[in-house]
Structure 1
Amino acid sequence: MEILDILIIGAGPIGLNCALEAKKNSLTYLIIEKGTIVNSLYNYPLYMRFFSTAEKLEIDGIPFISTAPKPGRQEALEYYQGIARQKNLNINLYEKVVKVSKNNDVFEIETTKSKYAAKNVIISTGFYDIPNLMNIPGENLPKVKHYYTEPYPYAKQKVVVVGSSNSAVDAALETYRKGAEVTMIIRHSEISKSVKYWVKPDIENRITEGNITAYFNSEILEIKENTLVFNDENGQAHEIENDFVLAMTGYLPDFDFLRNSGIELQGDCLNPLYHPETMETNIKNLYLAGVVCGGKDTHLWFIENSRIHAEMIIRHIVSK
């Protein structure tokens, strides 16, 4: 079996950037990706726009040309998948890594399709795969969606949107404008301060004028077939008619996979242990890159500020 210099888990923007750096340094590498190239971006809402401008999403100095100040999902897919094609990156798609173990100085990587060996492993798996569940009765009903793609299925439906972050606000506004009767259930006292600055006034105005109903400091107690029960800020229970629940409660890294790979997780946010200058974990030659580094604090790292991880990691590998 060939022993690769590097095996990269995840073909998101940062995983691709790691491959580009490996290629420039004449290192043998392979990316293993459970879905398509930039799979998380592919599963974003169809009309999503980034907070970052195009140049801050660039990797390897390759220009990202956008027709708008803030690129959208489709432009990002074209950009990153185009790089993978043009640079002829070594990627195995629709293949999931199930186990990473170390035998002396070589990692053994088991996937759903094969087995590999590598001197170094980079985990760049993001956090979009596991919904942050509410853990309430009825959450497993078919009408409850933890992923939102487009508003059209919700026309003329009674929709509850859970949360007040960017994804929740986008879902609320888009479904409202396609004819849904929208109610937002929000644990906090206001719309999140992290909501895109050009969208925040829009949602606040729709709430103020009563076109979107919002219950702040509130919590869902139970989801039923045709209704939903929640507590308001005074602790009073309400039951309202409901067709769909869009639970935009966030997402989490695969902590079990990190633990099973030997990576230490620390604190309430389960922050993975790594060296901030090399991105090497407590396991020698096992690295983290991208948003997976933040643990539960998924707003800590994003494309714009984690692009540097690739160069840091490859520089450290080459130096050894």
Structure 2
Amino acid sequence: MSLETIIYVVTGILVLGLPALYVWNERRGTAKAKRALESATIAGLDQPASLHPVIDPDSCIGSGSCTKACPEQGILQLINGKAALVNPARCIGHGECQRACPVDAITLVFGTEQRGVDIPNLRGNFESNVPGIFIAGELGGMGLIRNAVSQGRQAVEAVALQVKHDKSGEALDLLIVGAGPAGISASLQAKKEGLRFITVDQEDLGGTIFTYPRQKLVMLQPMDLPLHGPVRLREVEKEPLLELLMEVVTKHELDIRSGERVTEIKRDNDGYHVTTTAGQYVTRKVLLAIGRRGTPRKIGCPGEKCEKVTYRLLDPEKYHHKKILVVGGGDSAIEAAVALSTQPGNTVHLSYRGDQIFRIKEGNRQRLDQAVESGKITMLLNSNVTSIEPAAVHIDQAGTKITIDNDQVFVLIGGVLPTEFL
């Protein structure tokens, strides 16, 4: 074979083979992405819970930059050369995909046509539809600790601009409700701005983080805390993260009042009169940084005031040889049920009102399936608790009345948001 022939053959392979390889690889990727989307749809995981990307197919050039930028991996994939959200329920709103898109084809939005999201109306400065009441963090629809920290800071910067020319009277410049990441960041910024402020929380320092089970691994993104500086942790257990927050609060002498729940916010000419379980405050501005957990939602059945009923699980290892009922079908309920099922001698029932559990993290689904298959957890789907007694729980399961022996009930069905304040 002559050199000229070899050149023609090699050139032909390159000219025809490389495009064919590209097309084959694209089709394989598309098929994989479609399977992922189909699996998510079947599992009921096809609706995002919060902030998520919407891709404009007319603008998308299929560079794949967004798929590579997403820290969660596998949530965005290419289908027929266009980016698509194939694991919507796993999206937690990092927003890295939008920043990575070279043609601005991605918009971050809340809710979908099928699933609305109950969030307040906010202006660009984080002030709500009620003048003088600001919102930061997950209550405003933004997940992630980094986002909460950033919003807490920005909201207080906006408050400072509004109150800086009026320092008369005894009223506070700002009352911050919530001592989680958003509330602590806001408190630090308020200290930096020289504002007169107080921070209250119905529970303890840490907000939602405080309610996590012991040693729960928390995923973080790099962030900056006002007055403190950079926090470069990527993943950390609950306890060290709370220690960091406590260290920051102590170092900067922040006035945070735990165990103080807001019961009423009334507007008047001086600003707002805020009533809590410990007293009253007069303040010019209010910042709600309480997350979406709010006040724990209750079942509303007879006997719920029984001492054995609780609305959070802090330390699963405290419960041994107990007959336990967990009520709920979200990630918190699943994580609690699985954690309790691993403790010696426990008998765990999981009650959920729906006919299947969906919209939970894939890892939680796998652990739940394993626990059910091994007999560590008994599932009660299509069920509602009708009454609670000291040693038993009565349940209606699809019209059938059942009674189970019980020592402890965990009600993990979300929270009631403070919409009455807005």
Shorter-chain TM-score: which interval? 0.5 to 0.7
2:230 is matched with 63
SS at match of 1:188: coil
SS at match of 2:213: coil
Larger Rg: 2
Change (3 A) 1:96 1:157: closer
Identity of aligned residues (%): 25
- Residue 209 of structure 1 deviates from its aligned partner by 3.3
Q: Which consecutive residues of structure 1, in runs of 5 or more, have no partner in the other structure?
A: 264-320
Change (3 A) 1:114 1:206: closer
Pick from 240, 252, 260: which aligns with 2:404?
Answer: 240
Letter in 2 for 1:208: E
Pick from 144, 157, 176: which aligns with 1:8?
Answer: 176
Measure the CA separation in 2 of the matches of 1:114 and 1:140.
25
Measure the CA separation in 1 of the matches of 2:330 and 2:388.
21
Measure the CA separation in 2 of the matches of 1:40 and 1:85.
20
Change (3 A) 1:221 1:2: closer
Measure the CA separation in 2 of the matches of 1:114 and 1:137.
31
Q: Does the CA contact (< 8 Å) of 2:223 and 2:230 recur in 1?
A: no
Q: Does the CA contact (< 8 Å) of 2:327 and 2:352 recur in 1?
A: yes
Change (3 A) 1:155 1:94: closer
TM superposition score normalised by structure 1: 0.66
2:348 is matched with 182
Measure the CA separation in 1 of the matches of 2:305 and 2:416.
18
2:417 is matched with 253
Letter in 1 for 2:317: Y
Q: Does the CA contact (< 8 Å) of 1:127 and 1:254 recur in 2?
A: no
1:21 is matched with 189
1:165 aligns with 2:330: yes
2:304 is matched with 139
1:124 aligns with 2:289: yes
Measure the CA separation in 2 of the matches of 1:226 and 1:114.
38
Measure the CA separation in 2 of the matches of 1:84 and 1:19.
9
Q: Does the CA contact (< 8 Å) of 1:157 and 1:181 recur in 2?
A: yes
SS at match of 2:348: strand
TM superposition score normalised by structure 2: 0.52
Between 1:148-157 and 1:109-118, the stretch displaced more is: 109-118
Pairwise CA RMSD: 3.0
1:229 is matched with 394
SS at match of 1:148: coil
Q: Structure 1, residues 205-234: CA drift from partner, whole Å, max 9, x if none?
A: 22123332212222223333333332334x
Between 1:174-183 and 1:10-19, the stretch displaced more is: 10-19
1:156 aligns with 2:321: yes
Q: Structure 1, residues 115-170: CA drift from partner, whole Å, max 9, x if none?
A: 54433222223454632111223322233222222223431222122122222112
SS at match of 1:178: coil
Pick from 358, 362, 374: which aligns with 1:192?
Answer: 358
1:41 aligns with 2:216: no
Measure the CA separation in 2 of the matches of 1:43 and 1:160.
18
Letter in 2 for 1:240: I
Query: Pairwise mapping of residues 230-309 of structure 1 onto structure 2 (< 5 A)?
Result: 230-233=395-398, 235-255=399-419, 258=421, 263=422
- Residue 96 of structure 1 deviates from its aligned partner by 4.9
Measure the CA separation in 2 of the matches of 1:194 and 1:155.
26
Q: Which has the higher contact order (CA 8 A, sep 6+)?
A: 1
